Structure 1
Amino acid sequence: MLNFVTQWKKQSSLIVAGALLLTVPLTAQAAALQTTSPAMYQGDAQKAISLNLGNGKLDPNAPLTSRELVTLLNQSAALAGQPTSFTLQSTNPIKRQDVAAILRNTLKLAAAAEPFKDVLDQTALSTSVGSVFKAKLMNGVDAAHFAPGAIINHNQAYAIAYRVYDFLKPFQVTETTIADIQKAMDQGKLTSKQLVEMYLKRIQEYDDQNVKLSAIITVNPEALQIAEALDKERAAKGPRGPLHGVPVIVKDNYDTADMVTTAGCLCLKDFTPSKDAEMVAKLKAAGAIIMAKANLHEFAFGITSSSSLGGQTLNPYALDHYPGGSSGGTAAAIASNFALAGLGTDTGASIRIPASYNNLVGIRPTMGLTSRDGIIPLALSQDVGGPLARTVTDAAIMLDVTAGYDPDDTATAYGVGHIPTSYTNSLKLDGLKGARIGVATELFGTKADEQDITNLVNKAIGDMRKLGAVTVDIKIPNLDKISKFPSLSNYEFKFQLNDYLAKEGDNAPYHTLTDIINSGLYDKAQEAAMKARDARESLDTVEYKDILLNRTKITQEAILKVMADNKLDAIIYPTTMQLAAVIGTVQNSGVNTRISPFTGFPAISVPAGFTPGGLPAGFELLGRAFDEPTLIKLAYAYEQGTHNRKAPTLLP
Structure 2
Amino acid sequence: MHTGDKPIKSWLPHPLERLLNNCAPANPSYYRIPTDESRDNTAHRRGYSKSMVYGILLGALIIGGAGSGWYFNQRAGGGEFPSLYEADIETTYIARINEVNDILRPIIEVNPDALDIATALDEERSKGTVRGPIHGIPILIKDTIATNDKMNNTAGSYALVGAKVSSDSTVARKLREAGAIILGKTNPSEWGSFRIPWNSSNGWSAYGGQTYGAFYPHQDPSGSSSGSAVAASNEAKYAELDLRLNHQLTQTAVGFTSRHLVIPISERMDTIGPLTKTVKDSAYVLQSIVGTDVYDNYTSAIPDNTDKDFVGACKLTALKGARLGVPRNVINLMSDNTTVSMVAAFNATLDILRSSGATILETDFPAAQAFLNDTLLGLQIMSADFVVNIESYLKRLTYNPHNISTLPELRAWTRQSPLEGYPSKSTGVWDFALENWNNTTPEFWQAYQKGLYYEGEGGLLGTIKRHGLDAVVLPSKFSWSFAAVAGAPVVSIPMEAMGDEQPVVVDPDGLVQSAPGIPFGFSFLGDRWSDAKIIGLAYALEQRTRVRGKVKPIVKPRTELGDVAGRK
Shorter-chain TM-score category? 0.7 to 0.9
Aligned pairs for 1:324-335 (under 5 A) are: 324-335=222-233
SS where residue 218 of structure 2 aligns?
coil
TM-score normalised over the length of structure 1 = 0.65
Q: 1:192 to 1:404 in 2, by over 3 A?
A: farther
Checking the alignment, whether the CA contact within 8 Å between 1:248 and 1:340 is kept in structure 2 is no
In the other structure, the counterpart of 2:347 is 458
Closer, same or farther: CA 383–508 of 1 in aligned 2, 3 Å: farther
**1:561–1:528: structure 2 CA closer, same or farther, 3 Å change rule?**
closer
- The 1:574/1:315 distance shift into structure 2, 3 A limit, reads same
Counting only pairs closer than 5 Å after superposition, residues 32-431 of structure 1 correspond to structure 2 as 176-180=70-74, 186=80, 191=85, 194-195=88-89, 198-207=92-101, 209=102, 212-258=103-149, 259-300=151-192, 301=194, 302=198, 304-337=202-235, 354-356=243-245, 359-431=246-318
| In 1: Cα distance, 2:86 partner to 2:400 partner | 33
Q: What secondary structure does 1:621 align onto?
A: strand
Cα–Cα, structure 1 residues 189 and 385, in superposed 2: closer, same or farther, change >3 Å? closer
Partners of 1:597 and 1:545 lie apart in 2 by 16
Q: Distance in 2 between matches of 1:174 and 1:600?
A: 27
Letter matched to residue 388 of structure 2 = F
Higher helix share: 1
Q: Give me the whole-angstrom Cα distance separating, in 2, the residues matched to 1:516 and 1:446.
A: 38
Q: 1:336 to 1:502 in 2, by over 3 A?
A: same
Amino acid at match of 1:491: A
User: How many angstroms apart in 2 are the aligned matches of 1:218 and 1:414?
Assistant: 35
1:626 is aligned to 2:529: yes
Distance 1:197 1:279, change over 3 A: farther
Residue 574 of structure 1 and its aligned partner are, at CA, apart by 1.0
* Counterpart contact for 2:252–2:489, Cα < 8 Å: yes
% identity of equivalent residues: 29
Superposition deviation, residue 544 in structure 1: 1.0
Q: CA deviation at 1:227?
A: 1.5
Closer/same/farther in 2, CA of residues 185 and 224 from structure 1, 3 Å limit: farther
Residue 555 (structure 1) aligned with residue 460 (structure 2): no
What runs of 5+ residues in structure 1 fail to find an aligned partner? 1-171, 342-352, 578-591
Counterpart in 1 of 2:484?
597
Q: What RMSD over aligned residues (CA atoms) do the two structures have, in Å? A: 2.8
- Once residues 155 and 82 of structure 2 are traced to their aligned partners in structure 1, the CA distance between those partners, rounded to angstroms, is 39
Contact kept in structure 2, 1:173 and 1:198, CA below 8 Å: no
Asked if the contact 2:164/2:399 (under 8 Å) is kept, the reply is no
Give 1:453's aligned amino acid: M
State the Cα distance separating 1:271 from its structure 2 match.
2.1
Match of 2:410 among 507, 516, 532: 516
2:364 is matched with: 475
Distance 1:391 1:174, change over 3 A: closer
Quote the residue 1:496 is aligned against.
Answer: 389
Q: 1:237 to 1:324 in 2, by over 3 A?
A: same
SS in 2 for 1:599: coil
Measure the CA separation in 2 of the matches of 1:197 and 1:257.
30
Q: Tell me the SS of whatever aligns to 1:388.
A: strand
Report the Cα offset of residue 199 of structure 1: 2.2
- Amino acid corresponding to residue 523 of structure 2 in structure 1: E
Is the partner of 2:219 in helix, strand or coil?
coil
Aligned match of 1:650 = 555
Does the C-alpha gap of structure 1 residues 192 and 266 become closer, same or farther in structure 2, counting only changes over 3 Å? farther
Structure 2 distance, partners of 1:339, 1:231, is: 23
> Measured at CA, do residues 562 and 486 of structure 1 come closer, stay the same or move farther in structure 2, by a change above 3 Å?
same
CA distance in 1, matches of 2:88, 2:113: 14
Q: Deviations over 1:279-312 (max 9, x none)?
A: 1111110001112211111001257121111111
User: How much has 1:424 moved relative to structure 2?
Assistant: 0.3
CA distance in 1, matches of 2:340, 2:346: 10
Shift of 1:508: 5.0
Q: Distance in 1 between matches of 2:442 and 2:182?
A: 43
CA displacement at 1:178 relative to structure 2 = 2.7
Q: Deviations over 1:47-86 (max 9, x none)?
A: xxxxxxxxxxxxxxxxxxxxxxxxxxxxxxxxxxxxxxxx
8 Å Cα contact 1:382/1:600 also seen in 2: yes
Matches within 5 A, 1:433-448: 433-444=320-331, 445-448=334-337
2:469 equivalent to 1:568:
yes
CA distance in 1, matches of 2:125, 2:73: 16
2:165 and 2:399 in contact (8 A); partners too: no
Preserved contact between residue 326 and residue 354 of structure 1 (Cα < 8 Å): no
Q: Deviations over 1:441-471 (max 9, x none)?
A: 1222443221011112112212211222111
The higher relative CO (CA closer than 8 Å, separation ≥ 6) is in 2
5+ residue gaps, structure 2: 1-65, 500-515, 559-568
State the one-letter code of the partner of 1:320. Answer: H
Structure 2 residue matching 1:477: 3-state secondary structure: coil
Q: Distance in 1 between matches of 2:365 and 2:399?
A: 49
Rounded to whole Å, the distance in 2 between the matches of 1:552 and 1:568 is 19
What is the distance in 2 between the residues matched to 1:181 and 1:195? 19
Task: Please give the alpha-carbon distance, in whole angstroms, between the structure 2 residues aligned to 1:221 and 1:205.
Answer: 21
For 1:201, the aligned partner's letter is A
State the AA in 2 paired with 1:282: K
1:566 Cα deviation from its structure 2 partner = 2.3
Task: Compute the displacement of 1:648 (Å).
Answer: 3.4
**Aligned equivalents of 2:156 and 2:357: distance in 1?**
44
Give, in whole Å, the separation in 2 of the partners of 1:256 and 1:460. 41
Question: What displacement does 1:246 show?
Answer: 0.4
Distance 2:400 2:209 in 1: 25
Deviation at 1:474, TM superposition (A): 0.5
Residue-by-residue CA offset, 1:18-47 (whole Å, 9 max, x unaligned): xxxxxxxxxxxxxxxxxxxxxxxxxxxxxx
1:176 to 1:523, Cα distance in 2 relative to 1, 3 A: farther
- Judged with a 3 Å threshold, the aligned counterparts in structure 2 of structure 1 residues 492 and 502 are, in CA distance, closer, same or farther, namely same
